[in-house]
Amino acid sequence: MSRDQHIPRKRFGQNFLHDRGIVERIIRGINPRAGDQIIEIGPGQGALTYPLLQSIGAMRAIEIDRDLIPRLRAHSPRYGQLEVIEADVLRVDFTALAAGTPIRLVGNLPYNISTPILFHALEHASAIRDMHFMLQKEVVDRMAASHGSKDYGRLTVMLQAKVQVEPLFLVPPGSFTPAPKVDSAIVRLIPLAPEQIAPHDSQRLDELVRAAFSQRRKTLRNALSGVISAEQLQSAGIDPGLRAEQVPVADYLRLAALPV
């Protein structure tokens, strides 16, 4: 091991991509164009950063591990202009970074905090043009699930209420160092335009969906008692005898539009 070799840190979810074929497929999936405002979450050792820089010339990246940053800053100039933001992505204000021009978020995400990152990005959906993320396959299955499936849950509803979810391809554990214990997948997320989203109260949606899925084996009548009445469910055309996973996203939005 060379002296400056970085030892991957588990606490930062570091599984570095080394498979060039996969890197190329990810870059093709992103389809970067000159002028795109790309922001990478967790550039690590630059596996995605350098090819992206080569194709668009300039971009920004957010990295929490300060030990990785000097090397990124030293190596990047031969590919393009990289601005490294040393920060915890969960504290980054994407809307401020966009400064009026929607950003393209990309990243092989740290799996230990992938769900909080997704929810954080959702809060800034109007400042985001699209997102291309590597995640655990199991998480992508949940994001893309249809109602009626066992993978359909809170993550599905909250995401699909605001973004279009498009799984792209699978990535095996052997593509990373160290190899994670799980399969991974690339997913594309495209925020819906405001006119594509049925009017609703976001806080109410959050409350309803949390309650419904916290007891997913109960009927809505029981899981939502105290949150919404069986009569209100019926008035919205929703059978109170259904379970949370049987209810389409559009119906949750409709419930979240009812007066409380």
Query: Which residues make up the interface to ligand SAM (CB under 6 A)?
Result: 12-17, 41-45, 47-48, 62-65, 68, 88-90, 108, 110, 113
Residue with smaller CB distance to ligand SAM, 13 or 153: 13
**DSSP 8-state code for residue 32:** -
Q: Which helix H or strand E contains 60, and what residues bound it?
A: strand 58-63
Beta strand pairing status for 38-41 and 103-108?
A: parallel
Residue with smaller CB distance to ligand SAM, 148 or 174: 174
Smallest separation, CB 49 to ligand SAM (Å): 7
Residue with smaller CB distance to ligand SAM, 47 or 145: 47
Smallest separation, CB 213 to ligand SAM (Å): 26
Smallest separation, CB 110 to ligand SAM (Å): 4
User: Which single residue brings its beta carbon nearest to ligand SAM?
Assistant: 42
What does the alpha-carbon distance between residue 205 and residue 32 come to, in Å, rounded to a whole number?
A: 34
DSSP-H helix ranges across the chain = 20-30, 49-56, 69-75, 94-98, 114-123, 137-144, 154-160, 202-214, 220-223, 230-235, 249-255
What does the alpha-carbon distance between residue 96 and residue 191 come to, in Å, rounded to a whole number?
A: 17
Smallest separation, CB 87 to ligand SAM (Å): 7
Smallest separation, CB 111 to ligand SAM (Å): 7
What does the alpha-carbon distance between residue 232 and residue 155 come to, in Å, rounded to a whole number?
A: 24
Residue with smaller CB distance to ligand SAM, 11 or 217: 11
Residue with smaller CB distance to ligand SAM, 117 or 228: 117
